[in-house]
Amino acid sequence: MKSSIWRSVQALLFACATIPGWTLAAQAQQEVKLAYCFPEASHYGAGAGAWTAAIEEGTNGKFKVRHFSSCALGGERDTVEGLQFGTIEAIMVSTGTLSNFVPEVGLTDIPFLFRDLAHARGVLDGPIGDEILGKFDERGIVALAWGEQGFRHITNNTRAINEPADLAGLKLRTMENPVHIKAFEVLGAAPTAMSWHEVISALEQGTIDGQENPLSVIVSANIDAVQKYLTLSGHVYSPTMLLVSKPFYDGLTDEEKAVFKDGALAGAAAMRGFVDDAEKTGLATLKERGMQVNELSAEQRAAFQTSVQAAYEEYYKTYPKELIDRVIESE
């Protein structure tokens, strides 16, 4: 009896093993952990969705991408380390965090460097952007594409911000990013570097007065629930990067590498599409939700730009002046 059951099991296993598609999928399906620090209903989710679809379809299901949204695998810095250790295969992360790993990326975090989205996208998709992507290899990371969040604006609970003097002493959360911290120091605020997953509770508890992020983030994270004033300072462009672990990437075939790369470009395009929508509709949404919005005049904005110039002397020590000027002068 026992042996006839065993023979049936063997026959079934043999039958399955001779169906080529089935065997391939069952034996070789590999999970790709994709981590990001934001909810799925956001620009990150849009990018992750497009990247996932491209990978799963382009490899006929050999790779199954599992999303870990909202910092489920730790803060942005933790996920970059996870990539280096090879415990996470793919991440989407803001450049704010990345300059701690690849200092060259901090160039993109310099305030008032980019005029508008088209300028920023043009530079990052061109030779300067490619050069920065290439710096990641030696850190155990493969940088595939530039995603986007938009231009960052200031929110706070203390007062409307119309001029740099209004920032005096304001406990403003920044990313753990030396370029941003320097900018807010020279503007007179009290910058407080903090990982994103601690920000909402810190705002609720009043341990910080404000934060700064693009409309895509302010709307998706419901920052209006914990912040009263929004100033459209647009003080810095905020790119993201779509990255994979180098040990994982090195194990892929050339065709699979191309699928991951093209998929990352599709993910980046989806993020940019989301940001375009947020730029069009985000402001009205936040006003409806009761935020007091300060739209700066050209002169008021110029006052912030002038005040922050003092930080440029510091930036030139890390990023050559010629390079910064080249970015500013790019079409």
Query: From the CB of 119, what's the least distance to ligand PAF, in Å?
Result: 20
Closest to ligand PAF by CB, 128 vs 193, is 193
In the complex with ligand PAF, the residue whose CB is nearer, 33 or 153, is 153
For the bound state, the minimum distance from the C-beta of residue 200 to ligand PAF, rounded and expressed in Å, comes to 10
Q: Least Å distance between CB 199 and ligand PAF? A: 7
Cβ closer to ligand PAF: 54 or 80? Answer: 80
Closest CB to ligand PAF among residues 77, 121: 77
Three state DSSP letters for 81-147: HHHHHCCCCEEEEEHHHHCCCCHHHHHHHCCCCCCCHHHHHHHHCCHHHHHHHHCCHHHCEEEEEEE
Task: Rank residues 43 and 62 by Cβ distance to ligand PAF and give the closer one.
Answer: 43
Return the number of the residue (62 or 272) whose C-beta is nearest ligand PAF: 272
Q: How far is the CB of 95 from ligand PAF (least distance, A)?
A: 9
User: Closer CB to ligand PAF, residue 216 or residue 307?
Assistant: 216
* Shortest CB 76 distance to ligand PAF, Å: 6
DSSP string, 289-315: TT-EEE---HHHHHHHHHHHHHHHHHH
- Distance in Å, CB of 221 to ligand PAF, minimum: 7
Which of residues 39 and 247 has its CB atom nearest to ligand PAF in the complex? Answer: 39
Determine the length of the chain. 331
CB of 98 to ligand PAF, least distance (A): 10
Of residues 150, 187, 148, 183, the one with CA closest to residue 167: 187
To ligand PAF, the closest distance from the beta carbon of 38 in angstroms equals: 5
Distance of CA 270 to the CA centre of its chain: 13
Report the alpha-carbon distance of residue 58 to residue 316 in Å, rounded. 43
CA-CA distance, 120 to 113, in Å (whole number)? Answer: 9
User: 144 and 133 in contact (C-beta within 8 Å)?
Assistant: yes
Smallest CA-to-CA distance from 102 within 71, 124, 135 is with: 135
Amino acid 3 reads: S
Residues that bind ligand PAF (CB under 6 A): 37-38, 76, 94, 96, 149, 175, 196, 213, 217, 238
Type of residue at 15: A
Which DSSP helix (H) or strand (E) runs through 167? Answer: none
Spatial CB neighbours of 5, under 8 Å, sequence gap ≥ 6? none
Minimum Å distance from CB 217 to ligand PAF? 5
Question: For 135-139, which contacts have Cβ atoms below 8 Å and span 24 or more sequence positions?
Answer: 135/102, 135/104, 135/105, 136/101, 136/102, 136/243, 137/246, 139/84, 139/101, 139/102
Question: Are 268 and 242 contacting, i.e. CB atoms less than 8 angstroms apart?
Answer: yes
Q: 114 vs 196, which CB is nearer to ligand PAF? A: 196
Counting DSSP H helices and E strands in the chain, the numbers are 14, 9
